[in-house]
Chains A and B, each alone.
Chain A
Amino acid sequence: MTLGNIENRERFLSNIRDKIGGLSADKPVQKPNWSTQPQYRVLKDQNQDQLIKVLKDQCKHIHTDFYHTDEQHLDETLNEIFEEYGVRSIVYTCDSRFQDHKVDTSLKQSGLDTWEWDDNEKEASIQFSEKADVGITFSDITLAESGTVVLFNGQGKGRSVSLLPQNYIAIIPKSTIVKRMTQATEKIHKQVENGEDISSCINFITGPSNSADIEMNLIVGVHGPIRAAYVVVDDI
């Protein structure tokens, strides 16, 4: 990878340094011990099943349809949603979990127009997504408190899939559910600390898109999907 340019840095930072009496930039700064850490107290002691309940309740606040199923009935549940949403075309990410849980076969057999995201066919993939009735992804981490699915976009997992279609479905393996954002950011922080690359685009998605810009009235569905469904799947 080619390194990017940095321009005008020294003058800019030395001006700041003069004002705050900072040391030189290569002296590592230690973060202090914060006097309080309330984030770890949220939903403390809740087990996985209790967290599912929290997630389910939160879905009501974020205008998101909630489904709970198991691997065996996953295709049935998806079909139910397709029917409900009037879905004719589907785009989904190129993610081995679709094969692992046989979702791709059932999608392909559904008789609907399907498209698996293809990085080499960027334009065509975007065009399909733009017209698609639904985009489907797996959730990488799921935050019970806020009802958020976290997607590590990257190879095969196009950003557009969860963004451009009319509707969005997140398949949520039960094991991905954590309490709140704290657990997700902790994990990402660890990756950074270990020198691993992190995803170029991490999406924290909480329900469908919305806006309150007109008289503070909540309008669901602005630029992104208009409806969203979460499908929690046991055993995976």
Chain B
Amino acid sequence: MPMQIGEKEFKQRVTKGLDDNFMRGAVRSAQGRLQNNRASAADELGDWEDWRTLGKEIRQHTIEHLDYYLHQLSEKVAELGGNVFFAETAEEANEYVKNVVKSKNAKKIAKSKSMVTEEISMNEALEELGCDVVETDLGEYILQMDDHDPPSHIVAPALHKNKEQIRDVFRDKLGYEKTEKPEELALFAREKLREEFLSAEVGITGCNFAVAESGSFALVTNEGNARMVTTLPETQITVMGMERIVPGWEELDIVVSLLTRAAVGQKLTSYITALTGPKQSEEGDGPEEFHLVIVDNGRSKILGTEFQEALHCIRCAACINVCPVYRHVGGHAYGSIYPGPIGAVLSPLLSDYDEYKDLPYASSLCGACTEVCPVKIPLHEQLIAHRRNIIEEDKKGSLAEKVAMKGFGQMAGSANLYQMATKMAPILSTPFSSKNQIRKGLGPLKHWTESRDFPKPANESFRSWFKQRNKRGVQHDVRKH
């Protein structure tokens, strides 16, 4: 699945989202739970702000020395007998993985959840080879069965579906005969996927964090599928976005502690699996062969810019879980596999403004995202920076808006013009108002008054009241009380 998903036009996608009551109900309740879980986990830990500060410092230091740590990582992996491939583009990454799979003559590939492989359309590339690629994360499996419905959330990809819809997918595609009870659905998937794990020749995983000092990888999961994928197949391929790395184990502790709490409110998820190289020769299970693919795919464009902090992201989705815009439009409306606030920041960076110029505006700048981000990425400020870039550098703003803003700048930058404008307000709006509210506005107000009334300007502005009052000589409060 490429990064871009859904209809071409942002407006269409939004309307589709707003009209989807099923989805909105599912998202609303999921957000509620996730928000509560996160908040209580943070409270329980105590010192949450200190944890965030430390998380931010670690991420910042790592990204500022990314070349060093990636070098160290690759050295360690190679020492352990693993192969490392640095892929600048999606094509390079897919080509490499395809070659590994071909050399193994593999037919079945089991995958655990990985956003970066979605981003680079790795499944499609492997399917071209005639391979059977099975997503084994329950949420991803559901989507794959549903004719590759795109993910709508980076942690819970099938968040937009309710259990009845999932039951129907299993029934129509897999002959499932039981009810919509989540336990029954999960048990069914467990049995189906067991067969796949046992017969897969290659396992592909993503990577939550690589540990540079030892050449290790941590996979953070609850279901156990990533353990299966790294225990049973003979060959393991791990694909990581180049920023997903920490210097050492002590830093791993911090980012994992932040991730599990911020993402799902757990102290640790059921399984944190830290893998170091292929299995040792004297060991029984585990992969004989290990490949690491480190992917750039546009990330290095972000380095050294005002958006560098976006690379600090640990993909916890806390910002998505609090976002009111996401709540109403759902993940697919963003048109990117990275939705929500981080998606609105990241998608235009990994792709471009042509593709994603609407996303930075899909925010009321309420700052809820910035407040919860466990590594303190100033998400709403980054959205404003995008807007500034779109206007000042990319020159993509609408002409009308530009003229209006220029006028605004001149007006608000000058006392006389400003005062004139404020004086004009009541006069100009009088013909359109009933009582004290305007029900049908013109120009930009038109959109406003589609759903809300607009107040009628007061007959006497504050400034003229104040002037009169001073003339009358009222200085200090002389009213009796």
Report yes or no: B159 in contact with A201, Cβ–Cβ below 8 A. Answer: no
Q: Is residue B453 contacting chain A, with contact meaning CB distance below 8 A?
A: no
Q: Is residue B269 contacting chain A, with contact meaning CB distance below 8 A?
A: yes
Inter-chain contacts of B53 with A (CB < 8 A): 35-36
Report yes or no: B66 in contact with A22, Cβ–Cβ below 8 A. Answer: yes
Report yes or no: A215 in contact with B270, Cβ–Cβ below 8 A. Answer: no
Closest Cβ of chain B to A203, distance in Å, is: 6
Contact flags A205-233 to B (C-beta < 8 A → 1, else 0): 11111111111110101111100000000
Q: Is residue B362 contacting chain A, with contact meaning CB distance below 8 A?
A: no
A25 to B156, CA, bound (A): 37
Report yes or no: B78 in contact with A200, Cβ–Cβ below 8 A. Answer: no
Report yes or no: A7 in contact with B283, Cβ–Cβ below 8 A. Answer: no
Inter-chain contacts of A26 with B (CB < 8 A): 71
**Chain B contact patch, size range:** 35 or more
* Residue of A2, A25, A212, A217 with most partner-chain B CB within 10 A: A212
Q: Is residue B360 contacting chain A, with contact meaning CB distance below 8 A?
A: no
Q: List residues 163-208 of chain A with CB under 8 A from any CB of chain B.
A: 163, 181-182, 184-186, 188-189, 192-193, 198-208
Report yes or no: B81 in contact with A3, Cβ–Cβ below 8 A. Answer: yes
From B71, B85, B267, contact of A8 by CB (8 A): B85
Q: Is residue B186 contacting chain A, with contact meaning CB distance below 8 A?
A: yes
Q: Is residue A139 contacting chain B, with contact meaning CB distance below 8 A?
A: no
Report yes or no: A215 in contact with B186, Cβ–Cβ below 8 A. Answer: no
Q: List residues 120-151 of chain B with CB under 8 A from any CB of chain A.
A: 136-139, 142
Closest Cβ of chain A to B296, distance in Å, is: 7
Q: Is residue A160 contacting chain B, with contact meaning CB distance below 8 A?
A: yes
Report yes or no: B136 in contact with A223, Cβ–Cβ below 8 A. Answer: yes
A145 to B225, CA, bound (A): 24
Closest Cβ of chain B to A110, distance in Å, is: 24
Look across to chain B and name the residue whose beta carbon is closest to the beta carbon of A23. B68
Inter-chain contacts of A223 with B (CB < 8 A): 136, 190, 193-194, 197, 223-225, 227-228
* Contacts from A to B (Cβ < 8 Å): 1-9, 11-17, 19-23, 25-29, 31-32, 34-39, 41-42, 58, 62, 117-122, 125-126, 130, 143, 145-148, 153-155, 158-160, 163, 181-182, 184-186, 188-189, 192-193, 198-217, 219, 221-225
With A181-B253, A189-B213, A213-B138 known, 13 other A-B pairs at CB within 8 A are A1-B79, A3-B81, A7-B86, A13-B70, A20-B63, A35-B54, A38-B50, A154-B280, A185-B252, A213-B156, A221-B187, A223-B224, A225-B224
* Contacts from B to A (Cβ < 8 Å): 26, 29-30, 33-34, 45-47, 50-51, 53-54, 57-58, 61, 63-72, 74-75, 77-88, 92, 96, 136-139, 142, 156-159, 162-163, 166, 182-183, 185-187, 189-190, 193-194, 197-198, 213-214, 216, 222-225, 227-228, 230-232, 242, 247-250, 252-254, 256-257, 264, 266-286, 290, 294, 296, 300, 303-304
